[in-house]
Amino acid sequence: METSDIVARYSNMPGGIIEAFHEIVDRHGFLSQEAIIEAARGFGISVAEAYGVATFYSMFSVKPKGKHVVRVCRSAPCHTAGSAAMVDALQEHLGIKIGETTPDQRFTLELTECVGQCQATPVFTIDGEPYPGLTPSAIGPVLESYLRDGNRKDGR
Amino acid sequence: MVNLTIDGQSVSVPEGTTILEAARAVGVRIPTLCFHPDQSIKANCRICMCKVGESRVLQAACASPVYEGMTVDTRSPAVIEARKLNLQLLLANHPQDCLNCIRNGACQLQDLAAEFYVRDNPFEIKTRRMEKDFSTPSLFRDPDKCILCRRCIEVCSVVQTVNAYGMQGRGISSIVVPTMGEKQIESTCIMCGQCIHVCPVAAINEVEEIDKFMAAVADPDMVVVTQIAPSVRLAVAEEIGRRTGDLPMESFVSALRHVGFDYVLSTNYTADLTIMEEGSELLKRIQENDRLPVITSCSPGWINFCETFFPDMLDHLSSCKSPQQMFGALVKTYWAEKMGIDPARIYSVSIMPCVAKKYEAARPEMNASGYRDVDLVLTTREVGRLFRLNRLDFSKLPPSQLDSWMGNFTGAGVIFGTSGGVTEAALRTAYELATGELLEEVEFHTVRGRENIREAEIDMKGTKVNVAVGHSTRAARELMEQVRSGQSKYHFIEIMACPGGCIGGGGQPLTRSDQQRAERIEAIYLEDQAQKLRKSHENPDIKTLYDEYLGAPLSEKSHQLLHTHYHPARNRYAVPGFNPQAQARG
Amino acid sequence: MARETRIVLKNLGKIDPMKIEDAVAQGGYQALLKARDMSPADLIQEIKDSNLRGRGGAGFNCGQKWAFAAAAPGNERYVVCNADEGEPGTYKDRIIMENDPHRLIEGMAICAHAINARQGYIYLRGEYSFLRRVLTHAIDQAREAGYLDGFDITVRRGAGAYICGEETALIESLEGKRGEPRYKPPYPPTQGLWQRPTIVNNVETLANLPSIVDKGASWFASLGAPSYPGTKIFTLTGDIKNPGFYEVPTNTTIRDIVYGFGGGIPGDLALQAVQIGGTSGAFIPPDLLDTPADFDSMQYAGLSLGSGAVYVLDETRDILEVVTRIESFFEHESCGKCTPCREGTPRLVGLLEKIAQGRGSRFDLDLARKLGHNMTITSLCGLGMAAPVPMLTAMQHFPAVFTQQVSAKTSEEGTPW
């Protein structure tokens, strides 16, 4: 779906630009310059302001990402529960460092702050889907399921 | 009324007054930084902190309304220490090179550092290490010096509706950027320079070109000639510590000769000339119902705005060049001939209240003389620096007159410097041209005033002419939306990019409040009243120019030298559908 | 094993959140109908009398806040549910929304009646996007069943910004802008969303309303601590045998939460410190464990109940390291608007790292403390004011952790501090 169509669906919602950005990010992985200009047009704000919104929120990026975004929680409860080991294991599995994307563009690895799944720590998410309380050894099968399916777990 | 106590002193102020305002009423001047009298309250610098009652948490004086029985402490050691630590945080994220800085001596952060007797910084000095942006010929940005007060964003988006600036990132990564972080020249920036006035530090500045002037003066072959814009003389007084208007023309001219100018002439002269050309153009286009309304074209910030945001409406603009550029075209042709000077030796300078004029002078088409018509534009501020460099003692300067042929001007030329002035000047001439009658009352008060958009209906012996005067590009946008939708009822629209008109231009002495603009406007109308001649067509040197050289207004020669064309800018950030109302927030 | 007092979570495990009939069978929406029979003024008085105080962290008297909004001029008012729940270690609001969304909707509708609002928003943190379905489904069902009666609720998402849990930043985000807090006054009940009277209440606060309306103010006011009655859902994380969530009366002590419900420390290691209230809360030593967990008792002890997160550290943990990580969280989440927080949070991290690496001096410790103190008194919003608290309380209660890192080095030369 074209960015302009997505924007059009939300342009009647006062303040709806964040919802529009969510959907654009869901579909395209990031907010391109064209998307931001389109959003400015649709919501009657300046491009500068739309860009200011795009770059404020952690869930939005103005740079392209891999197909699946893996985020490891590093907030205090996960930190003491072993997020560092989780990061090491993911870096090894994927062969990239935090902030990088695999050469095949499949996975981007990032850190995040608390995602509210502290019932079982440490936590990481893939495309927003939480994986709480796993050990580093359990990572492999989880990642493989994304390679197999090739699609996001929530079906979009 | 609300009664409160500030530092033990009783104060009584109306409801809704802030602590900052209440304190000022009793002579207590709480230090501020992000606060600006003409803008919304930001409350982000956290310098104006005060202790209120027994509360542990301090309050920002700029944002705190007083209440009955409030007790405020603005100066105990604990309060001062709290402010100072925030100041030192700002200073620690700021280049420490005051000595090399264009705002040395004119910087609000530097002033605070002095006032707070800052001798050291407990924090490690660590700046953003971002590149300076010199992509425009008019102004440059130094993001390392930004203190994130956000005044520039407000003036650019709310006052000007240009929206060249915005925020990028969050937290310590926050920074003000052009649009999406590109270079300034690629943004919608119209180079009006209003951001320079509101920036408390040296994050945004004019492009300084004094070195070029010095090189020309040092070159024995060059004849350095300058024109002076109408708004400059009265405001340059502020650069030498005087009240606006308090520097007579003969002292100013004398000072300019002393710093190195060989000849000193006046843009007011070509302002009179502009009236002749534009007045004739206006009458012709009204008669022929051709592309009405006619819109003035002397403000390059406005031209940039039109080319960027209303590129489809360019044929409404008057084809007349600005007075600066008319002057430039003539000084290396007509004037050079009259003076017997080889035009190749002429270094044509203009002294302007404007930074967009630096861009205008550099436009490729501005070479009608066969040379660059204007070689260098110096702002009022740069001239102030030249005066200080030369340590001129204004009390001892011998008076000096403007030079010949392009130095004479009328009051009509003078008032170009204020919003409404071009219109009033045009009416003084157009009325007599159209009706053949003598205009007794030369002052058109209906086009004077502070409102962003003013309108008047002038009756020229039965022909009703509707005029509108707009200042700030916010007003320009509103007027142009009307033109675009075919709903504009005007024959003539004057637009000045800067609030107040050129007296508030981006190159003027740092303008800290609308009050300062008001004082300059008053000074300009006084200067107009003091002139013997107040109608452009009465200027004898203008008559000479037509008789001996141009022939008549709108002649072929006039068109070749004094008229120009415009270019649609096609900027992808100038999105249609932008609604200024959506940005109206406090 | 201690027993919970489930009021907010009373339907947990008994209903299918996707079926309104389950909620109704448990008494859902009865309180709303009763509330609608009361005048808004009476309803507000009832909530005031119950002394229900905000459960998001600010602890303001809920009814009093409603009274301000009801009295404010203007035809359009809004009820906003703060479901931003960004406080690390906190997930109680998610539990409520996942399991009993109708209770939340009912609470919002009760508030709407009190302040005469026609439109409500649930500001749902972006990381809880998966909850949109259960929430919108419940809203649709409630609307179809006629319970909403002209009051409509829209779910709107945040996008990963802890600061949007602050009510004015949340409002800015709802307006489609950067989530930067506004200076106050004016306060949202008088000028909030789109400058109109707005009540922003936490999920748990709203979820308390049906029981209060149903059983009455005096019933609620008699539960738990008198100054902060009712129950609180605590989420227990860290070095604890039984991590999880527990709804308990507000006069439960921290000791009971950690040892009674939490089962104590794994391996029976000694408890070193507990952080109460979320990542911006105070670190307390074992000798403060008998502080009742209610808002005012905590404040008296210099602590804050906050979101109700309880984070336990055993004797093996390096508190300096944990504190550094926490201050780094605040550096990441600072919105950047005001000087002390934007510039101060990275400076705190820098100083703590320097100290942790053994390169710090007593001067650095002193500076960190001074800076932290200044942030608590000059920041524009609660984030900046609370950010230094973990460090300051850790310094206060566990000074050796810090001083052992700084050698006998004297202050750096030339500094007046």
Residues B471-518 pLDDT 10s: 999 999 999 999 999 999 999 999 999 999 999 999 999 999 999 999
Among B138, B318, B348, B350, the active-site one is B318
C-alpha closest to that of C47 among C115, C97, C102, C104: C115
Rounded to 5°, the CA angle B93-B96-B97 comes to: 140
Chain B positions contacting chain C at CB under 8 Å are 41, 43-47, 49, 56-58, 60, 63-65, 82, 85-86, 89-90, 92-93, 119-120, 122-124, 147-148, 167, 169-174
In this complex, which of A42, A48, A56 lies closest to B164 when CB atoms are compared? A48
Return the amino acid letter for B545. L
Q: What percent of chain B has pLDDT over 90?
A: 96
**Pairing mode of beta strands B492-496, B294-295:** parallel
The answer on A143 and A77 residing in a single domain is yes
Interface test with A, best of B167, B187, B308, B474 (most A CBs within 10 A): B167
Domain spanning C319-403, CATH architecture? Up-down Bundle (1.20)
| B320 catalytically annotated | no
Query: CA B115, CA B110: separation in Å to the nearest integer?
Result: 9
Cβ–Cβ gap B576/A56 under 8 Å:
no
Other beta carbons within 10 Å of B151: 26
Instruction: Answer yes or no: B154 catalytic.
Output: no
Rounded to whole angstroms, the Cα distance separating A42 from A15 reads: 11
Quick one: how far is CA C275 from the chain centroid? 14
Output the average pLDDT for chain B: 96
Q: What is the CA radius of gyration of chain A?
A: 17
What is the longest distance spanned by two Cα atoms in chain C?
A: 74
Q: What is the CATH number of the domain that holds B178?
A: 3.30.70.20
pLDDT above 70 as % of chain A: 95
Q: Where are the alpha helices (DSSP H) in B362-472?
A: 380-389, 411-414, 421-435
Structural tokens at position A18: 């964040």
Residue B327 has pLDDT above 60, yes or no: yes
CATH code for position A125: 3.40.30.10
Interface test with B, best of A46, A58, A61, A113 (most B CBs within 10 A): A46
Q: What are A87-115's pLDDT values in tens digits? A: 999 999 999 999 999 999 999 999 999 99
Taking only the tens place, the pLDDT of each residue in C186-238 is 999 999 999 999 999 999 999 999 999 999 999 999 999 998 999 999 999 99
Say whether both A88 and A140 belong to one domain: yes
As a whole number of angstroms, the distance between CA B193 and CA B354 comes to 8
Q: Are both A49 and A27 inside the same structural domain?
A: yes
Report, in angstroms and rounded to the nearest whole number, the Rg of chain C calculated over CA atoms. 22
* Residue at B45: amino acid letter: C
Cβ contact (<8 Å) for B577 and A44? yes
Residues of A in contact with B164 (CB under 8 A): 48
How many domains are there within chain A? 2
H-helix segments, B162-201: 194-198
Residue B298 designated active-site: yes
User: DSSP 3-state assignment of C106?
Assistant: helix
Cα B31 from Cα B111, distance rounded (Å): 10
Mean of the pLDDT values across residues B421-425? Answer: 97
Say whether both A72 and A47 belong to one domain.
Answer: no
**Are B185 and B221 members of one domain?**
no
Single-letter code of the amino acid located at C195: Q
Query: Is the same domain home to A126 and A94?
Result: yes
What CATH number has the domain spanning C225-314? 3.10.20.600
Same domain? B82 vs B35: yes
The reply to whether B29 and B58 lie within a common domain is: yes
B562 or C404, higher pLDDT: B562
Beta partners for residue A70, in sequence order: A109, A126
**Residue C414's pLDDT band (boundaries 50, 70, 90)?**
very low
Q: Considering only B253-267, B316-330, B337-351, C275-289, which range has the smallest mean pLDDT?
A: C275-289
Query: C327 Cβ partners below 8 Å, 6+ apart?
Result: C345, C348, C349, C352, C387, C388, C390, C391
Q: Which tokens in the block code for residue B36?
A: 């600006």
Helix runs in B485-564, H state only: 514-529, 540-545, 556-562
Q: How many residues does chain C have?
A: 417
Distance (Å, rounded) from C-alpha A45 to C-alpha B157?
A: 10
Shortest distance between the Cα of B485 and any Cα of chain A, in A, equals 18
Q: What is the pLDDT of residue B585?
A: 37
What average pLDDT does chain C have? 94
Is residue A111 domain-shared with residue A141, that is, in the same domain?
Answer: yes
Contacts of A36 in chain C (CB under 8 A): none
- pLDDT tier, C297 (very low <50, low <70, confident <90, very high otherwise): low
Domain C20-222 has CATH 3.40.50.11540: yes
Residue of C nearest to A118 (CA): C89
pLDDT above 70 (res B129): yes
pLDDT 10s digits, C372-405: 999 999 999 999 999 999 999 999 999 999 999 8
Residues A47, A88, single domain; the answer is: no
Region B301-314 average pLDDT: 97
Instruction: State yes or no: pLDDT of B584 exceeds 50.
Output: no
- Residue B501 within any structural domain of the chain: yes
Q: In Å, how far from its chain's centre is CA B86? A: 32
The reply to whether A129 touches chain C by the CB within 8 Å rule is yes
B365 is catalytic: yes
Same domain, B216 and B158: no
Range of the domain at A22: 3-54
Mean pLDDT lowest for which of B219-233, B428-442, C132-146? B428-442
Active-site annotation holds for B548? no
The residue annotated as part of the active site, out of B502, B527, B535, B536, is: B502
Instruction: Say yes or no to pLDDT of B525 above 80.
Output: yes
Measure the CA–CA gap between A53 and B479, rounded to whole angstroms. Answer: 30
Give the mean pLDDT of B542-557: 97
- Token pair belonging to C317: 């943990």
Mind telling me how many Å the CA of C156 is from chain A's nearest CA?
A: 7
One domain for residues B29 and B148: no
Q: What is the pLDDT of residue A150?
A: 62
Nearest CA in chain C to B94: C343
**Predicted confidence band of residue A156 (pLDDT cuts 50, 70, 90):** very low
Give the nearest partner residue to A77 out of C130, C175, C238, using CB atoms.
C238
Number of domains in chain B: 3
Catalytic residue among B307, B360, B494, B527: B360
Instruction: Determine whether the interchain pair B578/A37 forms a contact, defined as Cβ–Cβ distance below 8 Å.
Output: no
Confidence at residue B577, expressed as pLDDT on a 0 to 100 scale = 56
CB pair distance less than 8 Å for A128 and C178: no
CA distance B522 to chain A (A): 36
Q: Are residues A48 and A72 in the same domain?
A: no
A17 located within any domain: yes
CB of A14 less than 8 A from some CB of C: yes
Distances B337 to B333, B341, B370, B405 between C-alpha atoms, Å: 6, 7, 14, 11
Strand arrangement, sheet containing B2-6: B9-13, B2-6, B71-73, B49-52, B59-60
- What is the model's pLDDT at position C408? 56
Residue B308 in contact with residue B188, Cβ under 8 Å?
Answer: yes
Q: Do B171 and C331 touch (CB under 8 A)?
A: yes
Q: Pick the catalytic residue from B81, B115, B131, B365.
A: B365
Of the candidates B86, B169, B171, the beta carbon closest to that of C339 is on: B86
Neighbours of chain B (3+ CB pairs under 8 A): A, C
What's the pLDDT band for B578 if we cut at 50, 70, 90?
low
Q: Is B149 known to be catalytic?
A: no
Residue C415 pLDDT > 70:
no
Asked if residue C355 has pLDDT above 60, the reply is: yes
Contacts of A35 in chain B (CB under 8 A): none
CB contact under 8 A, B170 and C161: yes
Give the pair of three-digit tokens for residue C348.
Answer: 């705190």
Looking at the domain assignment, is residue B116 inside a domain?
no
Q: What is the four-CA torsion angle of C380, C381, C382, C387, rounded to 10 degrees?
A: -50
> Can you tell me which residue has the tokens 């003013």?
B454
- Nearest-by-CA chain B residue for C329: B171
Q: What is the amino acid identity at position B62?
A: C
Q: Is residue A103 part of a domain?
A: yes
The closest alpha carbon to B82, from B34, B126, B45, B50, belongs to: B50
B132 noted as active-site residue: no
The domain spanning residue B375 has which CATH number?
3.40.50.1780
Q: Is the pLDDT of residue A152 over 90?
A: no
Chain A nearest CA to B174, separation (Å): 9
Whether A50 and A91 map to the same domain: the answer is: no
Which residue stretches of C261-361 are H helix?
295-300, 319-333, 339-356
* Residue tagged active-site, from B277, B281, B307, B382: B281
Tell which residue, C60, C393, C88, has the closest CA to residue C235: C88
The domain limits of chain C are 20-222, 225-314, 319-403
Average pLDDT of the residues in A79-88? 96
Could you tell me if residue B46 is inside a domain? yes
Nearest CA in chain A to C88: A114
Instruction: Look at residues B91, B112, B138 and tell me which one is the last residue of a structural domain.
Output: B91
pLDDT digits (tens, 9 = 90+) for C18-40: 999 999 999 999 999 999 999 99
Per-residue pLDDT reduced to its tens digit, B11-34: 999 999 999 999 999 999 999 999
Is B429 in the same domain as B532? yes
Within an 8 Å CB–CB cutoff, is residue A62 touching chain C?
A: no
Residue pairs between chains A and C whose CB atoms are closer than 8 Å? 125
Model confidence band, residue B405 (pLDDT cutoffs 50, 70, 90): very high
Confidence category of residue B289, pLDDT binned at 50, 70, 90:
very high
B443 and B313 in a common domain: yes
Does A84 touch chain C if contact means CB atoms closer than 8 Å? no
Quick check: C336 contacting B, CB < 8 Å? yes
In a domain? residue A59:
no
Say whether pLDDT at C285 is over 80. yes
pLDDT of the residue at B463: 82
Of A37, A55, A56, the CB nearest to B575: A37
State which residues form the domain around B177.
128-206
Chain B residues within 8 A of A55 when measuring between CB atoms: 167-170
Contact between chains at B179 and A52 (C-beta distance less than 8 A): no
In sequence order, the β-bridge partners of residue C155 are C122
Catalytic annotation on B502? yes
- Measured between CA atoms, the residue of chain B closest to residue A31 is B180
Partners of C271 in the β-ladder: C314
CATH number at residue B10: 3.10.20.740
Return the pLDDT at B586. 28
Q: Which stretch of A81-85, B46-50, C293-297 has the lowest confidence by average pLDDT?
A: C293-297
